Protein backbone atom coordinates (compact mmCIF):
# COMPACT_ATOMS: atom_id res chain seq x y z
CA UNK A 1 0.00 0.00 0.00
CA UNK A 2 2.97 2.35 0.38
CA UNK A 3 4.47 2.34 -3.09
CA UNK A 4 3.09 5.58 -4.52
CA UNK A 5 4.29 8.40 -6.69
CA UNK A 6 3.31 12.04 -6.96
CA UNK A 7 3.55 15.08 -9.15
CA UNK A 8 5.40 18.24 -8.19
CA UNK A 9 4.73 21.65 -9.74
CA UNK A 10 8.02 23.17 -10.87
CA UNK A 11 8.62 26.56 -12.42
CA UNK A 12 10.04 26.39 -15.95
CA UNK A 13 12.64 28.72 -17.50
CA UNK A 14 9.97 30.74 -19.29
CA UNK A 15 8.22 31.44 -15.96
CA UNK A 16 5.41 28.96 -16.55
CA UNK A 17 4.69 26.06 -14.28
CA UNK A 18 5.44 22.55 -15.46
CA UNK A 19 4.93 19.23 -13.77
CA UNK A 20 7.85 17.08 -12.77
CA UNK A 21 7.22 13.49 -11.74
CA UNK A 22 9.06 12.26 -8.67
CA UNK A 23 8.88 9.22 -6.47
CA UNK A 24 7.44 10.29 -3.14
CA UNK A 25 8.68 8.97 0.16
CA UNK A 26 6.33 6.55 1.88
CA UNK A 27 5.74 6.50 5.62
CA UNK A 28 4.38 3.82 7.94
CA UNK A 29 3.04 5.34 11.17
CA UNK A 30 2.05 3.58 14.35
CA UNK A 31 0.71 4.64 17.71
CA UNK A 32 0.20 3.06 21.10
CA UNK A 33 -3.17 3.72 22.71
CA UNK A 34 -4.21 3.28 26.32
CA UNK A 35 -7.73 1.81 26.08
CA UNK A 36 -10.53 3.79 27.70
CA UNK A 37 -8.40 6.94 27.80
CA UNK A 38 -8.83 10.26 25.99
CA UNK A 39 -6.49 8.80 23.34
CA UNK A 40 -9.23 6.44 22.18
CA UNK A 41 -11.65 9.29 21.36
CA UNK A 42 -8.85 11.36 19.88
CA UNK A 43 -7.75 8.54 17.56
CA UNK A 44 -11.34 7.93 16.46
CA UNK A 45 -11.67 11.61 15.51
CA UNK A 46 -8.31 11.58 13.71
CA UNK A 47 -9.34 8.46 11.79
CA UNK A 48 -12.62 10.07 10.72
CA UNK A 49 -10.68 13.14 9.53
CA UNK A 50 -7.81 11.07 8.05
CA UNK A 51 -5.44 13.18 10.16
CA UNK A 52 -2.28 12.46 12.15
CA UNK A 53 -1.04 8.89 11.64
CA UNK A 54 -4.05 8.16 9.42
CA UNK A 55 -2.59 10.53 6.80
CA UNK A 56 0.41 8.20 6.47
CA UNK A 57 0.67 5.68 3.65
CA UNK A 58 0.15 2.80 6.09
CA UNK A 59 -0.66 2.80 9.80
CA UNK A 60 -1.38 0.63 12.83
CA UNK A 61 -2.79 1.43 16.25
CA UNK A 62 -1.50 -0.80 19.04
CA UNK A 63 -2.94 -1.39 22.50
CA UNK A 64 -2.81 -4.11 25.13
CA UNK A 65 -6.36 -5.21 24.23
CA UNK A 66 -8.33 -5.39 21.00
CA UNK A 67 -10.46 -2.25 20.60
CA UNK A 68 -12.82 -1.40 17.74
CA UNK A 69 -11.95 2.26 17.18
CA UNK A 70 -14.06 2.76 14.07
CA UNK A 71 -15.57 0.62 11.31
CA UNK A 72 -12.60 -1.20 9.80
CA UNK A 73 -10.13 -0.02 12.45
CA UNK A 74 -9.22 -2.43 15.24
CA UNK A 75 -6.15 -2.14 17.46
CA UNK A 76 -3.39 -4.72 17.21
CA UNK A 77 -2.63 -6.32 20.57
CA UNK A 78 0.76 -5.88 22.25
CA UNK A 79 1.66 -8.26 25.05
CA UNK A 80 2.46 -5.62 27.66
CA UNK A 81 0.94 -3.89 30.64
CA UNK A 82 0.69 -0.24 29.61
CA UNK A 83 1.10 1.14 33.11
CA UNK A 84 4.51 2.34 34.23
CA UNK A 85 6.16 4.33 36.96
CA UNK A 86 7.32 7.91 36.59
CA UNK A 87 10.71 9.03 37.80
CA UNK A 88 14.17 10.21 36.99
CA UNK A 89 15.38 13.77 37.13
CA UNK A 90 12.42 15.09 35.10
CA UNK A 91 9.63 12.80 36.31
CA UNK A 92 9.17 11.15 32.93
CA UNK A 93 7.42 7.89 32.14
CA UNK A 94 9.72 4.92 32.68
CA UNK A 95 8.20 3.07 29.74
CA UNK A 96 11.16 1.55 27.88
CA UNK A 97 9.91 -2.02 28.42
CA UNK A 98 6.49 -1.09 27.04
CA UNK A 99 7.93 0.35 23.85
CA UNK A 100 10.34 -2.55 23.40
CA UNK A 101 7.23 -4.77 23.34
CA UNK A 102 5.57 -2.42 20.83
CA UNK A 103 8.61 -2.42 18.54
CA UNK A 104 8.75 -6.22 18.75
CA UNK A 105 5.12 -6.33 17.55
CA UNK A 106 5.80 -3.76 14.80
CA UNK A 107 8.61 -5.97 13.50
CA UNK A 108 6.57 -9.18 13.73
CA UNK A 109 3.59 -7.56 11.95
CA UNK A 110 5.94 -6.48 9.14
CA UNK A 111 3.81 -3.65 7.71
CA UNK A 112 6.77 -1.28 8.07
CA UNK A 113 8.55 -3.24 5.33
CA UNK A 114 6.12 -1.85 2.73
CA UNK A 115 7.26 1.74 3.32
CA UNK A 116 10.53 3.65 3.16
CA UNK A 117 10.20 5.30 6.57
CA UNK A 118 8.60 4.41 9.90
CA UNK A 119 7.36 6.85 12.53
CA UNK A 120 6.07 6.28 16.04
CA UNK A 121 3.28 8.81 16.55
CA UNK A 122 1.76 9.88 19.86
CA UNK A 123 -2.02 10.27 19.54
CA UNK A 124 -1.87 13.71 21.16
CA UNK A 125 1.12 15.06 19.21
CA UNK A 126 1.01 17.14 16.05
Other Cβ atoms closer than 10 A to 78: 20
Give backbone dihedrals phi and psi of 4, rounded to 5 degrees, phi first: -125, 165
Please check whether residue 27 is in contact with residue 121, taking contact to mean a CB–CB distance below 8 angstroms. no
Can you give the pLDDT of all 126 residues of the chain as single tens digits? 554 444 444 445 555 555 555 567 899 999 999 999 999 999 999 999 999 999 999 999 999 999 999 999 999 999 999 999 999 999 999 999 999 999 999 999 999 999 999 999 999 986
Domain edges within the chain? 6-120
Alpha-carbon distances of 3 from 7, 25, 44, 92, 112, rounded to whole Å = 14, 8, 26, 37, 12
Q: Output the pTM of the full model.
A: 0.79
Alpha-carbon distances of 87 from 11, 48, 122, rounded to whole Å = 53, 36, 20
Amino acid sequence: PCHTSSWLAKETRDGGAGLQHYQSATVYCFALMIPGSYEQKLLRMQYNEQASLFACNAYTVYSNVSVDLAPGLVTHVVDSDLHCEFGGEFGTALNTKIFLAVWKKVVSDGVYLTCQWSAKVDPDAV
